[in-house]
Amino acid sequence: MRLCMPCADRLGLLLDLSLVLVNWGVNIVSVEMEQGAVYLEFQPVSKEQQQAVLAALRQVDGIYTLREVSYMPSKERAEQLDAVLSSVQDGVLAVNESGRIKQCNTAAACILRLPEKGIDQPLPAELANSLLITRTLREGCSFHNREVFIESIGGYCVVNTRPLKNDASQVVGAVVMIRDGRDVRELIRRLTASMPVTFTDISFASPAMEKVLDQARRYANSASTVLIRGETGTGKELFARALHSASPRAKMTFMPINCAAIPDTLLESEFFGYEEGAFTGAAKGGKPGLFELANGGTLFLDEIGEISSHLQAKLLRVLQEKRVRRLGGSRELPIDVRIITATNRDLEDMVARRLFREDLYYRLNIIPLYLPPLRERTEDIPILAEQFLTRFAAKLQTPVYRFSPQALEKLQAYSWPGNVRELENIIERAVNLVDGPEIQPDHLHIGKKTGSGKAKVQFETYQTLEERVAEFEREILQETMKRFHSSRRAGAVLGISHTAVIKKLKKHGLWTSC
């Protein structure tokens, strides 16, 4: 039986309570003092004897009342702690100053591959060092969000440690929270992932695109490397995302990177990651590379023709060995990543001129996928234009909802050097300019207008370059405002904000006249 007895704080109270039980021949199991109450647990007795014992305990001086409880306080806290430790996804491990395990939840045992009944067993020294427990016990310091490599599991974990200290501030143990690196990457993917793109999201009406989509659907289930070729703006990343969404890796990470957008000196560390101290400025604990982050999923390397020969060699080795090593590291991690690459460059010509490795070219060009330019599939222009019109009209909250037949003819007659991306930009600009429900040819600013002749340089005026540019800018502003009568619409045409238009008008003394 377990009792809670609120009581006064007086000397000899526990002795009197013990004497009552001794007199009745009842054995005490445990006694705890907490928050102005005595908690008492004694052995089971008969119902008659129990009533007599309870009556005698009530008579003890300083006992206010008593009630039966289900748990002793320490047992209740232990049950609550077990429930908490079992419910969290992170691993929690606690050791004493000797390195013996005092707490280990299911998640920690699973991540570290420890036996479930390992309580009060010594933690292996190698594991204690890897988890930074040894340093925490020795130095009495905490570590926060440190990425460490665990040799026994062959992977990385993120750990947080905290020393446990007694009243004399002596370190008597340590607690470490452990999160599997794969779980961290999955969390990042969920927080940063955009809406998935599928093949049904790709609008088309032309036989050329139907053929490309049929090929892409067949390629999706393969694990082989895909090389997407096509001019800029044809939708290479869109197809890469659709390939991933239709593959068995769809629930895993899709990691895109534009190789041309990152300096070559940084691209290597982005690809392969680095260990702590690998170079000046390296983050504490190191950083995983894109191959690690995309492990199990798809890595999309856009503008692959822009990487240096040095990186080409390292990329080839990763593709052949299926293993990656961080900069400054000595361990190689196995990876399972599908590679999709894209380029608008002539790789065959680059190989002939020794600008691109021939062996890497053959490794990447296992499954080629060619996206035709928009001028070769003019049947797709109306459906794409309508799609962009609907999107931008909703975004800009304008009532425009259709193209005039002449506007569609103008769109289809253009050669579209910028392909779908250029079409999208032109439709967005048109939606900004139109006043009514219909887009007319005048709203479509396509291509570059050329003057009747080249600008002549009049040396007799002795104007500086800045003065000549200012003259042209003033003329452009005058003509644009004369036609559109609004700084907002003029800004949309010129590709600048309306506030920038106003500033330039004031600069050239045109603001009052407009």
Residue 70 has pLDDT above 70, yes or no: yes
Task: Please report the DSSP string for 104-151 in residue order.
Answer: E-HHHHHHHT--TT-TTSBPPHHHHHHTTHHHHHHH---EEEEEEEET
Note the pLDDT tens digit of each residue in 72-123.
998 888 888 888 887 788 899 999 999 999 988 888 888 888 886 678 889 9
DSSP string, 390-456: HHHHHHHT----EE-HHHHHHHHHS--TTHHHHHHHHHHHHHHH--SSEE-GGG---S----SSPPP
CATH 3.40.50.2300 fits 88-186, yes or no: no
CATH number, domain 2-73: 3.30.70.260
Pick the CATH number of 375-443 from 3.40.1190.20, 1.10.600.10, 1.10.8.60, 3.90.226.10: 1.10.8.60
Which candidate, 193, 239, 200, 196, places its Cα nearest to that of 220? 239
Domain extents for the chain? Answer: 2-73, 88-186, 193-370, 375-443, 459-507
pLDDT at 356: 93
pLDDT of residue 452: 42
Lowest mean pLDDT among 111-115, 268-272, 273-277, 421-425: 273-277
3-state SS assignment for residue 323: strand
Amino acid (1-letter code) at residue 103: Q
Q: What percent of the chain is modeled with pLDDT above 70?
A: 92
DSSP 9-65: --TTHHHHHHHHHHHTT--EEEEEEETTEEEEEE----HHHHHHHHHHHHTSTTB--
The pLDDT value given to residue 341: 96
| Dihedral over alpha carbons 421, 294, 303, 264 (to 10 degrees) | 130
Under 8 Å between Cβ of 287 and 242: no
Name which of 333, 196, 316 is nearest 256 in CA terms.
Answer: 196
So what CATH class is 193-370?
A: alpha beta
Burial degree of 485 (CB within 10 A; 0-12, 13-18, 19+)? exposed
CA separation for the pair 481, 487 (Å, rounded): 7
The answer on pLDDT for 450 being more than 50 is no
User: Residue 489 pLDDT > 50, yes or no?
Assistant: yes
Residue 300 burial class via C-beta count within 10 angstroms: exposed 0-12, middle 13-18, buried 19 and up:
buried
User: Residue 449: is its pLDDT beyond 60?
Assistant: no
Cα separation, 287 vs 330, whole angstroms:
15
In whole numbers, what is the pLDDT of the chain averaged over residues? Answer: 87
Its pTM stands at 0.64
Give the per-residue pLDDT at 67.
92
Identify the residue whose tokens are 């139907």: 210
Residue 172 DSSP SS3: strand
pLDDT at 514 over 60: no
